[in-house]
Amino acid sequence: MPWFRKYTLLFALIASGLLASPARASDAVPSPRPGHYNEGLGSSLLLKADGRFDWHVGPKGNARVVGDWRVRDRMLTLHPDPPAGERFSPLAQDAPWSEAADLALRSTLVAEFEKARLRSCPYIASIHAAALNSALLANGRKIEPDRRRAAEAREQSSRALQDLRQRIDAYHASVEAGRVAEAEGSLATMQQDIAAAFTAESERTFAGGDASETGFLRALDEIHARCAPPPQEAGPLRYAVLIENAPGTRFAPQVLVKFRTASAASQTTEAHARNRGDASPGAWAAWASDAPVVEIRLFWEGGPDEGLRVDPAPPGRVRRVVFNDLGGNRPVFDGPVQMRLVDDGFVMVGTEWRYDWRRAENDGD
């Protein structure tokens, strides 16, 4: 098991309190001496005489935790310091527009197109879900030619598609007439028609049916084409945010970026990294607006409800923001870390793994 998966389990156990094992009265062990202690996976822990600790987690020590240590009832307890500083730091210097900014803008426009299509035709989501479910059920299934079964499935698929087209026509007629309840009823029935069509088409395929014998895929293409909203021209004013990685850090997931104009028009999009490797420049978010953007806000899990306000760069420029990992991939601890003392160190015991810390051999008193 890779070290980082093992440590992920370890941190989860720490947070849930499963690692705290009560000491027995017969466990006569000395208190740990200040000094260096090592753990089998490469982590090192320095207990200082002044009651502070410095913990480097992982083979490369790229995750560091500092704080206070105490001993009580044969338990060593580490109290990590709370994070300090800002999670994100806007930079004063912006950057020129780039190809990556164009990619981010196109991603935003595609996402807006899909949202508009789902607003116009919410049943598209049911079609996508049925297609995914059909693919999952087909995984590993073998084709068993059967002409009779293929013919029956083809008829069932055709009837289901015909019913689906009628439901779609009824849905749009209800929407145009303002009959909301009737439209919602059509949507509920459509889910059954969609599931029946995909089930029948799957049976036809695995009975050896020829793909040219059915208009299933063509019918789905026609449904999608009907739901294509009219193309919208991107606004003339282009804005982008680049969330850069501070040295030695990884990008924080799920950062939402909200652009707002003076007229209260806004666009919220998730910042996406162009690369996921260690050399990743960060993540991008972009929007094209008809009116000047007056404010940008960043939202992330655990951040303030109002987000972080960032002044936009001039149109056609990129606002740069640095993501600070507050300690270089610092593990998040929900509370103190406890270790049970043994003769020559201490032990962290979980349900599956045992973590032994021993005093470094070359460490003096």
Dump pLDDT digits (tens) for 244-256: 876 655 555 578 9
Structure token pair of residue 129: 């879900």
CB 354 within 8 A of CB 347: yes
Cα 169 to Cα 176, 190, 222: the distances in Å are 11, 11, 13
The pTM for the full model equals 0.57
**Token representation of residue 325:** 């990992």
Stretch 204-213: mean pLDDT: 66
pLDDT at 11 over 50: no
DSSP letters, 16-31, are HTTT--PPPTT---PP
Query: Who wins on pLDDT, 358 or 209?
Result: 358
Return the domain boundaries, the chain: 3-84+329-359, 88-112+234-323, 122-226
Q: Are 353 and 10 in contact (CB under 8 A)?
A: yes
Task: Report whether pLDDT(3) > 50.
Answer: no
* 3-84+329-359 CATH fold: Lipocalin (2.40.128)
Query: Does the pLDDT value for residue 17 go beyond 70?
Result: no
Give the mean model confidence (pLDDT) for residues 81-87: 68
Q: Are 347 and 356 in contact (CB under 8 A)?
A: yes
pLDDT in tens, 307-360: 889 999 999 999 999 877 654 445 545 567 878 877 667 776 543 445 676 777
Average pLDDT over residues 128-148: 79
Is the pLDDT at 120 greater than 70, yes or no?
A: yes
Please compute the mean of the pLDDT values over residues 99-126 and round it to a whole number. Answer: 87
**1 pLDDT band (50/70/90 cuts)?**
very low
